[in-house]
Structure 1
């Protein structure tokens, strides 16, 4: 890797955090909405969505909202599901709802949560489930209870939300995770990829709008699924091999996809858990082209997205799995902003489509 003249390492050891919410644990799922200039992300462990409405002034424009049983909508058409062990709510991924250019702020979001896809109203602070994963005929109630949402994305036509489920925090990590396809209009949930440990980021190729890229974190693999056929997947990137075996578990986590408007070449920017790195691969051959090495104080990089040329990166706290949190990690959970991660003239674009709903 080091002898490849096409490969570039960019060391960012002196980069300061862009913003950190006090007490942040596991920041993830970062997304940008061009129409309103809004930056959104979640804290998985705390079950929170965070919103920054002025990217240049996060301190004065940040707000957050928690989802708990206490603020569940009283008039929801979907009753709160049985939760005999009182398991915590969590939030793995977020899908902005934006209806028209005249709207100046995001008032609602959909999100992947503990038991299904939820909707949060920023105006009232209330939330509700709009569909439960237990509606899936191939997912038993007992199994669904042990799972939680991880990453997810919206199909190019907006018809489907794809969301990965993995073992919830209180349970042992098992290969009971899966990838679901959710149709909110038809109120249908379909299991499309079974027996995963940690399903993660999902993207579509811009050229045909069908080819799917799926991250399989604990197999250290990015799968390419030509034509969108998840059963005919082929390995595109071996992330462990691309880290020279220097790390025990360099897991590909959340990622951002970018296509050059001039050449239509595609690139995947992957946050590699436990390595302090975001690695850039080309989608044609899965070749590692560049890596951004963030400060060693935050090795748990978790997700990223572009706002124009700048790459925003989320991180997680070192104490995320500790039974007793001592709050000794004062940087974990912060957001980094890598300036000019892309070259040339890069327009502002939203990083997720709006789902049909």
Structure 2
């Protein structure tokens, strides 16, 4: 039986276009996320009672697709529009670490941008490219890259991607979201390098199958978006277009759903003092028939209970040049 939890109020009320890429840093109890369209990185510090403090915005680029933690709590690595940067949140300055090949311009001349990614256990920064908002449609022109922390080379891992999103590793496997296909894929991964064996690519979850019994038939077209994993290997993924984030067990079975007053649920992370609070980002719903009470752009939180334990984020091990 699927357990449903309805969340009615936001944790942080925010005037944002597309909140995404949320992460938690236990070293200073900070919550960080981005607004992709505004190119901003946000940070707030949680109090002893788990309440948010002042939210500060740091302009990093024209667009920002993903951030990763580093060895310095005041610096994050940023997937920007045409490059990867280090953002110094003490000074607000950024410095380029690496550039995308050909300034992130596709073979047909379309401009690409960064989307989601992750930091692996070796401290490399994985970041995907995809069609920019200026493109007339989303074609399979993107690439999932690994930015090597030692060589600073952008190494292509998966090519011909449409919308590359959530990415993580567990128990010898890599899990990767292809939002355009509405699928989370599973690969066998090398234990030393974390690189996937592309020949082992297997659908782990198809969103259409997860929601096939729901009365709202539009849910089968929901897009899996950003996700996090807990210590058991359960996936907590946002599902864009469904008002929901869902919990999947290690077999891909739906066990819990979390329902928000925002249609466009975009990303999740687990944090808090007990590492069992789910923090969730959402995007502004600008559809003509959007619910006027939709709270897209806000940040939400859910207490997952004592049976869940989040996993500390890996840190970028390359240079901190900013």
TM-score normalized by the length of structure 1 = 0.78
Please say if residues 147 and 167 of structure 1, whose CA atoms lie closer than 8 Å, have aligned partners that are also in contact. Answer: yes
- Deviating runs (4+, > 6 A) in structure 1? none
Are 1:212 and 2:174 an aligned pair? yes
Query: Where does residue 239 of structure 1 map in the other structure?
Result: 207
Query: Where does residue 67 of structure 2 map in the other structure?
Result: 94
TM-score normalized by the length of structure 2 = 0.86
- Helix, strand or coil: the match of 1:279? strand
Larger radius of gyration: 1
Query: Where does residue 55 of structure 2 map in the other structure?
Result: 62
Task: Give me the whole-angstrom Cα distance separating, in 1, the residues matched to 2:17 and 2:281.
Answer: 11
- Helix, strand or coil: the match of 1:315? strand
Kindly state the Cα deviation for residue 141 of structure 1 after the two structures are TM-superposed.
Answer: 6.2
Query: Where does residue 294 of structure 1 map in the other structure?
Result: 260
Please say if residues 54 and 61 of structure 1, whose CA atoms lie closer than 8 Å, have aligned partners that are also in contact. Answer: no
The one of 108, 112, 116 equivalent to 2:79 is: 112
- Helix, strand or coil: the match of 2:221? coil
Task: Give me the whole-angstrom Cα distance separating, in 1, the residues matched to 2:109 and 2:270.
Answer: 33
Please say if residues 300 and 317 of structure 1, whose CA atoms lie closer than 8 Å, have aligned partners that are also in contact. Answer: yes
Flag structure 1 segments of 5+ consecutive residues without an equivalent.
1-6, 69-88, 100-105, 261-265
Q: Write the deviation string for residues 51-80 of structure 1: whole angstroms up to 9, x where unpaired.
A: 01125332x332111124xxxxxxxxxxxx
Task: Give me the whole-angstrom Cα distance separating, in 2, the residues matched to 1:132 and 1:157.
Answer: 21
Equivalences, count: 300
Query: Where does residue 38 of structure 1 map in the other structure?
Result: 30
Q: Write the deviation string for residues 66-120 of structure 1: whole angstroms up to 9, x where unpaired.
A: 124xxxxxxxxxxxxxxxxxxxx11111112224xxxxxx221111110121111
User: 1:345 and 1:196, CA in 2 relative to 1: closer, same or farther beyond 3 A?
Assistant: closer
Kindly state the Cα deviation for residue 330 of structure 1 after the two structures are TM-superposed.
Answer: 6.6
Kindly state the Cα deviation for residue 329 of structure 1 after the two structures are TM-superposed.
Answer: 6.7
- Helix, strand or coil: the match of 1:124? coil
User: 1:356 and 1:220, CA in 2 relative to 1: closer, same or farther beyond 3 A?
Assistant: same
User: 1:141 and 1:269, CA in 2 relative to 1: closer, same or farther beyond 3 A?
Assistant: closer
Q: Write the deviation string for residues 271-309 of structure 1: whole angstroms up to 9, x where unpaired.
A: 0000011111112x21112212223xx010000111111
Flag structure 2 segments of 5+ consecutive residues without an equivalent.
190-195
The one of 174, 179, 187 equivalent to 1:225 is: 187
